[in-house]
């Protein structure tokens, strides 16, 4: 089996690294961050594929690493229920899933402070050069370096991220800090409110210590609000004056923006949702982009997760797609008995089809909410899923 270098040690990189190691490859993960990745507080809705490694290979029960809710509810501005349906959804936190995958992979071959600066992959081997000056080789370089993927920019310089016209305000608040009435109202549901050219979702996720017990969890918000392309640079400039490309981390969003967001929430959101939003101590902002790639493999280099397609979050499938890229890569490699010339094209064909269809679906949902303004409660297209709504 080939030796593999995985660049990027987040959920996509770790899942792929674990699966390729299980398949018999000699795998090393290179992560740019110098410190352990632990502070990414965002909640995520999780699909079967995101939890598949922890459940199938580590024997964990989904209930131990994710919260679950049994209802989907849409609220009117006065807080009454406009629409409700029964559906099981699972939610987790980046931290929770990362901890499980990282513990499974171990620290020995998970190297921090290793920023890939350049690579070559045209021959039979890939050559990686890090910003430290170190050079390493592998039979296959898997780039799981996220939405800003420097590797994608090098392989496909013509691919430009396309701004979707809106940002997501995100953040969490301890369930225990909320009033009893709000906590009760939100406890067993993913709760939506649709506003003109906007919508917000609220759901419970595990606490920072991983607890999934009601009362010890966090409540997570994702609020999509339109920002013109001209205003985007101001929205992505933090308190420190630094202009970011994609997101401003917690604690860095300028206070006038936070005040405007909280004021709008108090005036326009259902009381339960407004209470959550205005209680989030450190909300943060992520701009939403579409990234569409023509290829996912070239020579001995391939792209997985957001490094290939970055899709809008409306199918809750970003981490599932990243994981699925890893599962299918391992499957094709095993099928071809480790032959990269045979397996990479088959993998690429399958994952290009998945990425393109997911991108089209999430674009349609996002445009319906933010631009066409015909986003409606109970629309079957809103059901989360990787291969299609509910799939
Ligand atoms: C508002 C919003 C809501 C979302 N909600 C959900 C949801 O509910 N459910 C869901 O499944 N997904 C959701 N997503 C999508 C999800 O967050 C991403 O799809 C997922 O994090 C992608 O994982 P990844 O491993 O591909 O990339 P990332 O998590 O971005 O990781 C990339 C890694 O590569 C490292 N790196 C970068 N460059 C280098 C380099 N040169 N050398 C070495 N390392 C490098 C980075 O430090 C980082 O650790 C959401 C996204 C947004 C914006």
Residue the block writes with tokens 């990234």: 291
Query: What is the predicted pLDDT for the residue at 352?
Result: 98
Report whether 191 contacts 202 (CB < 8 A).
Answer: yes
Q: How far is CA 369 from CA 199, 276, 300, in A?
A: 7, 22, 40
Please answer whether residues 42 and 93 qualify as being in contact, where contact means their C-beta atoms are separated by less than 8 angstroms: yes
In ligand 1, the atom with minimum distance to the C-alpha of 37 is 49
17, 44, 304, 310, best to mutate for ligand 1 pocket (most atoms within 8 Å of CB): 44
Of 48, 69, 90, 306, the residue with max ligand 1 atoms within 8 A of its CB, to mutate for a pocket test, comes to 306
Residue 197 pLDDT: 97
pLDDT reported for residue 35? 83
**Spatial separation of the C-alpha atoms in residues 229 and 241, rounded to whole Å:** 19
User: Which of 39, 319, 354 for a ligand 1 pocket mutation test, highest count of atoms within 8 Å of Cβ?
Assistant: 319
38 CA → ligand 1 middle, Å: 13
Q: Where in the chain is the domain with CATH 3.50.50.60?
A: 3-35+112-161+291-369
Reported as a single tens digit per residue, the pLDDT across 87-102 is 999 999 999 999 999 9
In a 13 Å sphere around the CA of 233, the CA atoms on its Cβ side amount to 2
**Of 298, 16, 5, 11, whose CA–CA distance to 156 is shortest?**
298
All residue ranges of the chain with pLDDT < 50 are: none
Looking at the DSSP assignment, which residues form a beta bridge with residue 201?
192, 222
Longest dimension (CA), the chain: 63
Q: Whose CA is nearest to atom 11 of ligand 1?
A: 319
Which CATH fold topology does 3-35+112-161+291-369 show? FAD/NAD(P)-binding domain (3.50.50)
pLDDT in tens, 219-270: 999 999 999 999 999 999 999 999 999 999 899 999 999 999 999 999 999 9
Report pLDDT for 230. Answer: 96
**Domain covering 70-88+163-289: architecture:** 2-Layer Sandwich (3.30)
Distance 111 CA to ligand 1 centre (A): 18
Q: Is the CB of residue 153 below 6 angstroms from any atom belonging to ligand 1? A: no
Q: Are 125 and 139 in contact (CB under 8 A)?
A: yes
Q: What pLDDT does 59 receive?
A: 98
- Look at the block and give the residue holding tokens 């809106």: 166
How many other CB atoms are found less than 10 A from the CB of residue 310? 27
């Amino acid at each position: 089996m080939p030796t593999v270098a995985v660049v990027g040690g987040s959920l996509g990189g770790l899942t792929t690294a674990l699966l390729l190691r299980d398949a018999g490859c000699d795998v090393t993960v290179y992560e740019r961050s110098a410190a352990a990745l632990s502070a990414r507080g965002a909640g995520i809705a999780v699909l079967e594929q995101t939890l598949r490694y922890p459940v199938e290979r580590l024997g964990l029960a989904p209930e131990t690493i994710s919260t679950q809710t049994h209802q989907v509810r849409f609220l009117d501005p006065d807080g009454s229920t406009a629409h409700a349906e029964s559906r099981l959804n699972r939610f987790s936190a980046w931290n929770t899933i990362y901890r499980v995958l990282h513990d499974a992979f171990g620290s020995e071959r998970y190297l921090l402070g290793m920023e890939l600066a350049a690579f070559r992959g045209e021959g039979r081997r890939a050559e990686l050069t890090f910003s430290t000056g170190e050079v390493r080789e592998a039979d296959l370089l898997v780039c799981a370096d996220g939405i800003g993927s420097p590797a994608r920019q090098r392989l496909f310089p013509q691919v430009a991220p396309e701004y979707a016209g809106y940002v997501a305000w995100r953040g969490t608040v301890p369930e225990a800090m909320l009033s009893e009435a709000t906590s009760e109202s939100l406890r067993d549901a993913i709760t939506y409110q649709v506003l003109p050219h906007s919508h917000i979702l609220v759901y419970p996720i595990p606490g920072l210590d991983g607890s999934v017990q009601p009362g010890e969890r966090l409540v997570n918000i994702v609020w999509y609000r339109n920002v013109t392309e001209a205003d985007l640079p101001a929205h992505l400039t933090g308190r420190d004056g630094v202009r970011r490309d994609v997101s401003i981390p917690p604690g860095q969003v300028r206070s006038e923006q936070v005040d405007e967001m909280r004021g709008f929430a108090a005036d326009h959101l259902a009381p339960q949702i407004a209470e959550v939003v205005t209680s989030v101590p450190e909300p943060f902002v992520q701009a939403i982009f579409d990234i569409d790639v023509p290829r996912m493999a070239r020579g001995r280099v391939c792209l997985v997760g957001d490094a290939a397609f970055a899709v809008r979050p409306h199918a809750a499938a970003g981490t599932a797609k990243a994981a699925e890229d890893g599962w299918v890569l391992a499957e094709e490699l095993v099928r071809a008995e480790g032959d990269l010339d045979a397996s990479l094209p088959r993998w690429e064909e399958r994952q290009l089809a998945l990425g393109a269809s997911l991108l089209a679906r999430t674009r349609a949902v996002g445009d319906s909410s933010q631009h066409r303004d015909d986003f409606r409660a109970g629309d079957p297209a809103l059901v989360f899923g990787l291969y299609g709504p509910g799939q």
